[in-house]
Amino acid sequence: MATERRWLFIITVLAALILSAILALRQPLEFEASALVRVKVPPLPKESSVHFGWDKSVWYSPDLAIEVAKRTKISEETRETWPVVSWLSEGLRVEETDGLVMLKLRGGFPQHVVRDTLAVYIEEAAEKLTRDLRSTLESESARLNALHQALEEHRQRVVQTLMTRVEARTALLHSQKESLEQALQELLKARTAQMRVGEPGATLESWYYRNYVESLLRRLEEIERELDRLTTMGIAAMEREYQRVLDLEERLEALAQAQVEVQQILKGWEPLEVVTPARLPQGPIGPNRLQIILWGTGIGVIIGVLMAFFFPRRREPSKT
């Protein structure tokens, strides 16, 4: 009876060994291609509200995998794109450090297919990043343009308001000047003889009128200076209010410069710099056939032990 169990164990282990060996030999060779690229962040202007930060999700985009699948020879042979998409999602590894991205693609396809697929993947990633940035920057350019127009309209309203205030102030000063000149002329005619302070016959009343006339003359001089200032400087004479206009003009200039920079980025920015292109793999890296055989043999040993212990015993015929 022990001999039967021993042979059952040996047959089970041998069967597992043979099956695992066949399975290991039928596995296609796996190759791995790698490439090193640098992601370049565009020099966005300060006025821009857009912030770019590339992460691994960009490289694992389903849309990107589908575009790559459409361009590969594998899709042409199988007439399907989904096997390539699933291969890319499972076989692609991305390692990013300080803007440098190491891409590794592993698969059970010929060497040139793995290399060419990775090269196409990098090309499609660059095009996708460019499209995404273009779309974002076009929206940002429209936003900056709308903001520029709104600020320009606001600046014009502020300037118009200041011009109205300057005109009203100028008219008021002219009116005050005319009133002062008329009052001085009438007062000088009536009080000329009594405005000699310190001479015989001078009175307190003449002294009072002299001071009054001097105050009118000083006020008239101030009005003339202010009128000259308003005439020469215009709305700039209202320094505090005019500073708002200067601030708006500075902001408008910054927005205009930002729009120019955005257009320059749209024309000349390239998102990826290929540091090390995808190369033909030197040799296969898988599958690990020995490991498959050892795993299969180990499973056969376990099954053989279980079968040897729990296999039903054969009853021996009784002696009569």
More confident residue, 93 or 29: 93
Is the predicted pLDDT of residue 127 greater than 80, yes or no? yes
Cβ contact 33:73 at 8 Å: no
What would the two tokens of residue 33 be?
A: 């291609």
What would the two tokens of residue 55 be?
A: 């992460």
The H-or-E segment that residue 176 falls in is helix 111-191
Length of the chain: 320
Cβ contact 192:242 at 8 Å: no
What would the two tokens of residue 311 be?
A: 């296999």
With the CA atoms of 203, 207, 212 and 217 taken in that order, what torsion angle do they form, in degrees rounded to the nearest 10?
130
Give the pLDDT of residue 1: 46
- Spans of all domains in the chain: 1-27+287-315, 142-266
Is the predicted pLDDT of residue 120 greater than 80, yes or no? yes
Q: How far apart are CA 75 and CA 66, in angstroms?
A: 10
Is the predicted pLDDT of residue 106 greater than 60, yes or no? yes
Cβ contact 72:116 at 8 Å: yes
Is the predicted pLDDT of residue 185 greater than 60, yes or no? yes
> Tens digits of per-residue pLDDT, 73-86?
665 555 556 677 77
Q: What are phi and psi of 92, to 5 degrees?
A: -95, 135
- Is residue 197 very low, low, confident or very high in pLDDT (cuts 50, 70, 90)? very low
Give the pLDDT of residue 191: 59
User: What is the CB-side half-sphere exposure of residue 277 using CA atoms within 13 A?
Assistant: 8
Is the predicted pLDDT of residue 6 greater than 60, yes or no? yes
The H-or-E segment that residue 57 falls in is helix 56-59
Amino acid identity at 272 = L
Q: What are phi and psi of 190, to 5 degrees?
A: -80, -25
Task: Kindly state the average pLDDT of the residues 211-229.
Answer: 80
> Tens digits of per-residue pLDDT, 263-308?
777 777 788 888 888 887 777 776 666 777 788 778 878 887 777 7
Strand order of the sheet with strand 100-107? Answer: 92-97, 100-107, 31-39, 272-276
The H-or-E segment that residue 25 falls in is helix 2-26
Share of the chain above pLDDT 90, in %: 0
Give the pLDDT of residue 3: 67
